């Protein structure tokens, strides 16, 4: 197994052969991937070296210190946090070699075609159909709340392939070409005035069977890999002390002493402590990830992330008073990523409302934590064994 010394040597060799100041950004990122320094815990030839995951931080720090560019992980978060782990676990060797390199370098953006107008929290009720036609599948349906679909080249897609099976068993997982015929992406305006989300209409979209991940009808199991990684990527991402939303609120408190009151101070202190506890729990979660796949703990991290963001942004608006209601960016923008810290308090307050929906609603995540972490009895599910076609919709 590759150890720290070998990684240090590879970093030095990469920097010597491709000096960051003299190498184009994309060329450097490609070279880094090929050197196995993208995801050091991934297999050789797929951006890694089969090294312990815990060594990635040292590699990232050494390259950053040398002035090397990163792959803008916030812009390609769906690909990095959701598509890549699923491709690694279920894709063929040919698909992994085709997709992982441009995914990691950011040359190809990914999106997630899971939720539907009638299947959001109850994702297994999805109605988008995929019918086999020789070596291809013909897909028809509608997806909704699809972040970055307007910028995406590829999508991970869930579709129903057997309506006679119970809803969790008749689903198959595919990789969909977002530039292919029959894919129609339309913007959804949200409370911020922007359209980072989309609805996607699929009409006669043809997907080769070679782009199927996992067995036919086994898509729900494959999707669990995606969903667990999604929740970790949303709620368990690394931030420094006083980073993220709590950092913006604390900075405002320090810079604007005329706004302070005793009541707001007490609430700020309580939220600061909770944010720090969540940050440390996220560090522990990443240590657990280094030893294996994410579990239900990621759901708890995502729950905490959503609640804290909403409470912190609400307190910031209260602290600023009338000034906190200002929001001068009601433009019809199509952003590729969400910027929580570089915008006004009014934007953060509005955008944080979506945190309890995206990546799994807080209500569903509470059930997951209750059942899989606390061991409480599962809620009754009367439709568990009913064929999907017989369910009321």
- CB-based contact 217:170 (threshold 8 Å): yes
Catalytic residue of the set 116, 199, 230, 297: 230
Place of tokens 């070679």: 210
Which residues make Cβ contacts (< 8 Å) with residue 288, sequence separation at least 6? 294, 295, 297
Rounded to an integer, what distance in angstroms lies between the CA atom of residue 367 and that of residue 378? 8
Active site residue 283: no
Number of helices (H), then strands (E), in the chain: 12, 8
**127 close to 166: Cβ distance less than 8 angstroms:** no
For the chain, the first-to-last Cα distance in angstroms comes to 52
Structure token pair of residue 137: 């599948």
H or E stretch covering 63: helix 56-65
* DSSP code for 121: S
Nearest partner of 244 among 286, 283, 285, 276, judged by Cα: 276
Contact indicator for 11, 38 with CB cutoff of 8 Å: no
Helices (H), 106-168: none
* Rounded-to-10 torsion of CA 375, 286, 355, 264: 100
Give 3-state DSSP helix, strand, coil % of the chain, rounded to 5: 45, 15, 40
DSSP code at position 321:
G
DSSP structure class, residue 327: -
Q: Quickly list DSSP for 222-253.
A: HHHHHHHHHHHHHHS----TT-HHHHHHHHHH
Q: Which positions are catalytic?
A: 230
């Amino acid at each position: 197994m590759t150890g720290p010394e070998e990684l240090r040597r590879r970093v030095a060799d990469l920097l010597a052969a491709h000096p960051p100041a003299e190498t184009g950004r994309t060329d450097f990122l490609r070279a880094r991937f090929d050197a196995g320094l993208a995801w050091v815990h991934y297999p050789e030839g797929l951006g890694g070296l089969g090294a312990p995951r815990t060594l990635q931080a040292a590699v990232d720090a050494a390259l950053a210190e040398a002035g090397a560019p990163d792959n803008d992980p916030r812009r390609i978060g769906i690909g990095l946090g959701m598509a890549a782990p699923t491709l690694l676990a279920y894709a063929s060797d040919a698909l992994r070699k085709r997709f992982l390199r441009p995914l990691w370098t950011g040359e190809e953006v990914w999106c997630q075609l899971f939720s539907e107008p009638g299947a959001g929290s109850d994702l297994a009720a999805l109605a988008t159909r995929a019918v086999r036609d020789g070596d291809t599948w013909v897909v028809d349906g509608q997806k909704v709340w699809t972040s970055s679909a307007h910028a995406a080249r590829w999508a991970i897609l869930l579709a129903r392939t057997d309506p006679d099976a119970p809803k969790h068993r008749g689903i198959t997982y595919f990789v969909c070409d977002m530039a292919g015929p029959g894919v129609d992406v339309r913007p959804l305006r949200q409370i911020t005035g922007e359209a980072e989300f989309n609805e996607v209409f699929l009409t006669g979209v043809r997907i080769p069977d070679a782009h199927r991940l996992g067995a036919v009808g086994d898509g729900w199991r494959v999707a669990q890999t995606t969903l667990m990684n999604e929740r970790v990527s949303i709620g368990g991402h690394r931030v420094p002390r006083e980073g993220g939303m709590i950092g913006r609120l604390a900075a405002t408190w320090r810079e604007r002493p005329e706004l302070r009151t005793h009541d707001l101070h007490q609430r700020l202190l309580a939220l600061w402590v909770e944010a720090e506890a969540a940050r440390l729990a996220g560090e522990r979660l990443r240590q657990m990830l280094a030893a294996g796949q994410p579990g239900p703990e990621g759901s708890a991290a995502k729950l905490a992330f959503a609640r804290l963001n909403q409470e912190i942004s609400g307190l910031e608006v209260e602290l600023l008073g009338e000034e906190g209601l200002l929001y001068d960016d009601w433009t019809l923008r199509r952003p590729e990523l969400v910027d929580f810290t570089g915008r006004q308090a009014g934007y953060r307050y509005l955008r944080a409302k979506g945190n309890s929906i995206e990546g799994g609603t807080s209500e569903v995540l509470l059930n997951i934590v209750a059942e899989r972490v606390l061991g409480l009895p599962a809620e009754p599910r009367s439709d568990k064994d009913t064929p999907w076609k017989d369910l009321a919709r």
